[in-house]
Structure 1
Amino acid sequence: MPAYWISRCIINDPVVYKRYTDQVPDIIAKYGAKVLARGGHFQIMEGPEVFKRFVVVEFPTFASAVECFQSDAYKAAASHRRNGGSIVENVIAEGAEIPS
């Protein structure tokens, strides 16, 4: 069953944040992930208008999503955003089986 990284972001320093985003596509590809939404147009329908960037990444399994997030390569890339490039909330959610 697929799982999803769901991220809400505030970008404080676009130059530093780009160091992170330049590395992530190759890292997540190693885990069979694909980006479903990244940046682009959005509309907050409910809740505080704090976050200004939203990202959804699909992984083949919950385990692969967690493994990627905890990998040394991802931690190294994420250090750029964690050290002042942005404020991010990340959630990994397992997909649902929809009965037919």
Structure 2
Amino acid sequence: MPAYWVARSKINDPVEYKKYTDQIPGIIARHGGKVLARGGRYEILEGPDKFQRFVVIEFPTFEQGVACFRSPEYDAAAAFRRSGAGEVETIMVDAGDATR
């Protein structure tokens, strides 16, 4: 069953943050992920307006998505944004029936 990595972020330092985002597509692809949305137009319909960038990535399984996030290569890339270049909230969610 597919799973989705959903992230929302606030970019504080675009130059440093780009060092992170330049590496991410290759890392995601190596873990079987496919970027469905990355940046682009958005409208906040409900909730805080702190975040200005939204990302949705599909993985074949929940486990592959979590493994990507926890991989040493992702951790090394994320160090650029974790140093203060950005603030991010990330979740992994299974596709599936919402009636469970």
- For 1:23 and 1:55, how far apart are their aligned partners in 2? 15
Moved segments of 4+, more than 4 Å = none
SS at match of 1:51: coil
Give CA deviations for 1:31-81 in whole Å, capped at 9, x if unaligned.
111100111000000111111100000000000001111100000000001
Residue identity (%): 57
1:25 CA displacement: 0.6
RMSD: 1.0
- For 1:49 and 1:90, how far apart are their aligned partners in 2? 16
Q: Which runs of 5+ in 2 are unaligned?
A: none
Number of equivalent positions: 98
- For 1:85 and 1:96, how far apart are their aligned partners in 2? 34
TM-score, normalising length: structure 2: 0.95
Within 5 Å, give how 1:1-100 maps onto structure 2. Answer: 1-97=1-97
- For 1:56 and 1:25, how far apart are their aligned partners in 2? 12
- For 1:75 and 1:94, how far apart are their aligned partners in 2? 22
- For 1:35 and 1:71, how far apart are their aligned partners in 2? 17
